[in-house]
Structure 1
Amino acid sequence: MGSWDAALDAAGVRDERLRADFTRQRRVVARYRFPQYAAVRLLLPRPTVPHLLAATAFMHHTDNLLDGDGSLRERSTAYERWAGQVREALASGRSDHDVLRPVLHACAARPRLAERIEAFLEGAAVELDFAGFGTEADYQRYVDAWSLPAFMLPADVLAPTREPAGFRDACRAFIDGSQRLDFVNDLADDLRAGRLTLPRDVLDRHGVTRADLVERRATAGVRELIARQLDDARASLRAAHALVGHLPAAHRAFGRALIGMEEATADAARAKGAGLLVSSARPAVPTAVRLLVREYRKRGQ
């Protein structure tokens, strides 16, 4: 995968404490989603790698605060404290936090990233107060308020210096497909945690109740519900391929791999069907390896 030290050098990370900070955040991302981490290391040029990992680790840290243990009041207090730290760091250019120091370095290289972070922070209330979706329109508002601003953090690291027309729309298509896929694929875990992430009007359309999902009833309606949600996710991911054309040539292999991994997950979820009420689906390891090898050979195209 190449030398991590060389990637830090290429990104201009010289300070030893900062290099240690970046290394800690690299490990966080590797534990969180190893296939995507492997794609970052294999397919992106060295100067991009540390900054993309820093943006992703920051997003993950914030999301964990919002979704963590504790009452709504406790989580709200923890988040407000964190948001204050973030804003103070962005204003001063300094921080004592090992998640924020790498982000500040990334912002210095990509000044637009600071604006993305502020938009991300402003949307956090939607995730903090999440109580499910009454309608598909509610889900779409969630994507606009929270999912898209979150994705725009790593997307900004990948984007050209001047954001091209259509870039945000392509990012929106990707995150709509990815978020919908996550909600369907993670049904079992979410239901165990007391969360229903599919819109209630969509359940009604298929004659499905929350109890059907909680009790793992593989009815015709449940199977159709899952299949249609995965179809919608797949359609958005197909539209997201436009994103690749907006990226610099050096980042396109990674863009294709990112979308391809989501598509492979959607295929695995479709094959599992109502079994998603028991556990999530994951692409077979050989499928992921073939995807990475294919894109490795096409780097720069």
Structure 2
Amino acid sequence: MTGALDAAGITEPRLREAYVRCRRLNAEHGRTYYLATRLLTKAQRPAVHALYGFARFADDIVDSAPPGSDPAARLEALSAKLFAGLDSGHSDDPVLAAVVDTAGRYGIRRDLFTAFLDSMRMDLTVSEYPDREALETYVHGSAEVIGLQMLPVLGTVGEPGEAAPYAAALGKAFQLTNFLRDIGEDLDRGRVYLPADELAAFGVDRDLLLWCHRNRHTDTRVRSALAAQHATTRRIYAYARDGIDRLHPASRPCIATALVLYSEILDRIEAAGFAVFSHRARVGRARRAQLAASGLARAMWARRGRRADGLAPAATERWA
């Protein structure tokens, strides 16, 4: 991590500590994401860790609140501290210090953080979504904005606005993959992240999903409904894939590898007959290592002849 911080020009000791803490959150909780991040240049990695660390920290407030705590109050306190930091350009918080610094370095829009926190608030009050439109309101803040926050760090070869829809779509695809894989965990939290009307078209409702979860068995109606959700997610991956060439060449191997790793979770779900209630779909270590090695080779090739390791927010190619 020291080399990455040095490459990014982060020298202040407390700020370095904040970035290290965010990196630990990424390594511990986002293993697939973290593996792909290793394919970025050293100068890029701290910013990605900061953005992930903040998202994870907020998510834990919502999903892992200790008994007797008030997650809504804690989330509001986090929001107030974040925006105060964005306004001043500085934060003393051990996590927020890194994300505030990253936002300033890369000019990440304030409204993206607003949308993210709005979706986190929804998790405290909304337990299901009647249709795709309602779900996409949530997914915009919980996932699409993550892709948009990442875009200035990744860089583009054209106008950033041209790459933005693809970056948002990839964030959405990752999130929808998680929804399919983690149905049981979400039910344990009292939530269903699948459009109720689309489930109903196959004769599926919350009660049937709960029955499947209790019995660790995928009913045939649920299997058909999940297959339809699976197909929708596949189409979003296909769209997002077309945006990779719009990124800075040094960033393409990372995003391409992340796309393959996550989309292969869909492969595992389908290959198992959508048995998401009896086991968690995973991409094995050997396959992850294979993809990482291939991605690293492409990343090293992309950096040849370019000043990739020294890239900073003000690099010559468009780092929006």
Q: Give the TM-score, by structure 2 length.
A: 0.85
Q: How does 1:201-240 map to 2 (within 5 A)?
A: 201-216=197-212, 217-240=217-240
Tell me the distance in 1 between the aligned counterparts of 2:205 and 2:109. Answer: 42
Tell me the distance in 2 between the aligned counterparts of 1:175 and 1:22. Answer: 22
> Which amino acid is 1:77 matched to?
A
Share of identical aligned residues, percent?
Answer: 25
Tell me the distance in 1 between the aligned counterparts of 2:31 and 2:50. Answer: 15
Q: 2:155 — aligned with what?
A: 159
> Which amino acid is 2:180 matched to?
V
Contact in 1 for aligned 2:170/2:240 (Cα 8 Å): yes
**Cα offset, 1:239, TM superposition:** 0.9
Q: Matched residue of 1:275: which SS? A: coil
Q: Matched residue of 1:294: which SS? A: helix
Q: Which runs of 5+ in 1 are unaligned?
A: none
Tell me the distance in 2 between the aligned counterparts of 1:60 and 1:159. Answer: 23
Q: 1:255 — aligned with what?
A: 255
Q: 2:45 — aligned with what?
A: 49
CA offsets 1:169-210 (integer angstroms, 9 cap, x no match): 112321232222111110111122222221211121111232
Alignment partner of 1:103 out of 74, 99, 106: 99
CA offsets 1:31-54 (integer angstroms, 9 cap, x no match): 01123212212x111110111111
Q: How many residues align?
A: 297
Give the CA RMSD over aligned residues: 2.3
Q: 2:81 — aligned with what?
A: 85
CA gap 1:293/1:238 in 2 versus in 1, 3 angstroms? same
Q: 2:26 — aligned with what?
A: 29
Q: Matched residue of 1:20: which SS? A: helix
Q: 2:12 — aligned with what?
A: 15
Q: Matched residue of 1:276: which SS? A: coil
Q: 1:284 — aligned with what?
A: 284
Does residue 69 (structure 1) correspond to residue 68 (structure 2)? The answer is: no
Specify which structure has the higher proportion of helix.
1
Tell me the distance in 2 between the aligned counterparts of 1:167 and 1:127. Answer: 29
**Cα offset, 1:29, TM superposition:** 0.6
**Cα offset, 1:124, TM superposition:** 3.9
Does residue 172 (structure 1) correspond to residue 164 (structure 2)? The answer is: no
Q: 2:56 — aligned with what?
A: 60
Q: Which runs of 5+ in 2 are unaligned?
A: 303-320
**Cα offset, 1:107, TM superposition:** 2.5
Contact in 2 for aligned 1:56/1:153 (Cα 8 Å): no
Q: Give the TM-score, by structure 1 length.
A: 0.90
**Cα offset, 1:166, TM superposition:** 2.7
CA gap 1:66/1:163 in 2 versus in 1, 3 angstroms? farther
Contact in 2 for aligned 1:243/1:255 (Cα 8 Å): no
Q: Matched residue of 2:281: which SS? A: coil
Contact in 2 for aligned 1:253/1:298 (Cα 8 Å): yes
**Cα offset, 1:259, TM superposition:** 0.8
**Cα offset, 1:72, TM superposition:** 11
Q: Matched residue of 1:249: which SS? A: coil
Q: 1:120 — aligned with what?
A: 116
Tell me the distance in 2 between the aligned counterparts of 1:163 and 1:74. Answer: 43
> Which amino acid is 1:22 matched to?
Y
Q: Matched residue of 2:126: which SS? A: coil
> Which amino acid is 1:202 matched to?
E
Contact in 1 for aligned 2:166/2:240 (Cα 8 Å): yes
Alignment partner of 1:190 out of 186, 195, 207: 186
Contact in 2 for aligned 1:135/1:200 (Cα 8 Å): yes
Tell me the distance in 1 between the aligned counterparts of 2:231 and 2:56. Answer: 27
**Cα offset, 1:229, TM superposition:** 1.1
> Which amino acid is 2:264 matched to?
A
